Amino acid sequence: MITTSVPFPVDLSLFEGTCHSPSLPSLQRSLGREDLQLQDFCIPVNPYFPTHEIFEDFKQHLESILKYYPSSNRSIACCLAETFGLDPATVVMGNGSTELITWIDLLLIGNRVATPVPTFGLWTDHPAGIGKEVCTWHLHPADNFQLDVAEFVEFVRHVEADTVVLCNPNNPTGACLDQGPMTCLLDALADLKLIVIDESFIDFAEEEFIPSVADEATGRENVIVLKSLGKNCGLHGIRAGYAVANPRLAQRLRTALPQWNVNAMTEALIRALSSHQTEYEFARRLAVADRRRMEQSLRSLPGVTVFPSRANFVYVQVPAPIDGVTLRNWLLCEYGYLVRECGNKLGSDSSYFRLAARPAEQVEALLDALSTAFRHFGYGLDIHASRRADKMVT
């Protein structure tokens, strides 16, 4: 174990040999002390749902939830479809969206995949790992990492890709296409073998309107839209995702999956959603508001570039000469704050961080830690004075 003399003796070797961050529980266990609790700014999760009342209901039924088989994939998908007003024939449940990504890669994608980067690493790494050619279109900070639809379509034609994958909002940048531009893209590439739109974070795009194209997918022959209940509902641990597609595509995907690939806790959540839509909508809007406030607060840090986001996280670039890995480790070991350094994402580097949106008081504590870190590493020695002045103005 790699330990330090600072308050949080975290095993930093857990970050080695992985394209993703280690889990918070694994880092917590490495401390070996229950009195030290890590604070997660890494995993984009909805902190307001399920409500305390829903958790209490889960506890009361926990024995039967864990003891007996869940319903079948098709039955649980029908329940979800009824809750969200979808045709059950167009919905496929997965043990997390990553299970669906894996089967889409194995069954449906073509030989040449085009995708913008930086993006969710599984969309680049897994296709390449099974022998597909991945053609990457690099997004630029000068454009706030926003995708230009016309230029991307031209790129797809130039590389002769037969499959396109887009995360919308994009992970880790938070950039998002509205329905109009996305529909234009689907129209322009209607002849491709497959288009996958990963909408895992789209519920956090806006308070008033969710710019999903799931309805578009059900009427098109080559489009699959992915959703993540774990992210929307703040329960990554239950592994709950679903795909929306026309019945033919949905059936091809469904037949590849085990009958009981979705666990009973996920089924309990889905059945609870049908009677708790008001609470979910309230929680969703709170998370969006947190992200807006976090964006604004981060802009008070001199030298930090904050990119506009429409997800429940914010993508930032820290100033040179600060090393991202060193900063990540320092925040973790000094303060117990876990952040996502993005140096292992294709199209990014270690100066970029994805910071999960959190309530205002937690964000304020993170900003104080960041300003202290900047001073520690020799950047902006008057940064505390700047922060104090900003607080006085507001």
Sheet containing 305-307: give its strands across.
305-307, 313-317, 352-356, 340-341
Same domain (yes/no): 238, 298: no
Instruction: Flag whether 58 is in a domain.
Output: no
Q: Structural domain tally of the chain? A: 2
Closest CA to 263 of 43, 112, 73, 45: 73
pLDDT of residue 378: 84
Domain that holds residue 73: 69-275
Does 321 sit behind a cis peptide bond, omega within 30 degrees of 0 on the bond before it?
yes
pLDDT of residue 6: 53
Same domain (yes/no): 150, 271: yes
| pLDDT tens digits, 139-170 | 999 999 999 999 999 999 999 999 999 999 99
Same domain (yes/no): 111, 201: yes
Rounded average pLDDT over 314-343: 95
Same domain (yes/no): 243, 384: no
Same domain (yes/no): 229, 316: no
Instruction: Flag whether 64 is in a domain.
Output: no
- Predicted TM-score (pTM) of this structure: 0.92
Rounded average pLDDT over 95-120: 95
What's the chain's average pLDDT? 92
Burial-class residue 290 by CB neighbours within 10 Å (0-12, 13-18, 19+): buried
Q: pLDDT grade, residue 380 (50/70/90)?
A: low
pLDDT greater than 80 at residue 392: no
pLDDT greater than 90 at residue 384: no
Please state which of the ranges 112-116, 335-339, 385-389 shows the lowest mean pLDDT. Answer: 385-389
pLDDT of residue 326: 96
**Residue 164 sits in a domain of what CATH number?**
3.40.640.10
Instruction: Flag whether 4 is in a domain.
Output: no
> How far from 100 is each of 47, 103, 141, 227, CA to CA, in Å?
25, 5, 30, 10
Which among 240, 275, 310 is the end of a domain? 275
Instruction: Flag whether 63 is in a domain.
Output: no
Instruction: Flag whether 304 is in a domain.
Output: yes
pLDDT greater than 70 at residue 394: no
Closest CA to 247 of 74, 46, 2, 68: 74
| pLDDT tens digits, 195-245 | 999 999 999 999 999 999 999 999 999 999 999 998 888 888 889 999 999
pLDDT greater than 90 at residue 316: yes
| pLDDT tens digits, 349-366 | 999 999 999 999 999 999
Q: Tell me the two tokens of residue 374.
A: 């900047």
pLDDT of residue 143: 97
Same domain (yes/no): 112, 85: yes
Instruction: Flag whether 7 is in a domain.
Output: no
**Residue 328 sits in a domain of what CATH number?**
3.90.1150.10
- Whether the CB-CB separation of 293 and 321 falls below 8 Å is answered with no
Same domain (yes/no): 118, 247: yes
DSSP secondary structure, 259-289, as one string: TT-S-HHHHHHHHHHTT-HHHHHHHHHHHHH
pLDDT greater than 70 at residue 381: no
Same domain (yes/no): 41, 145: no
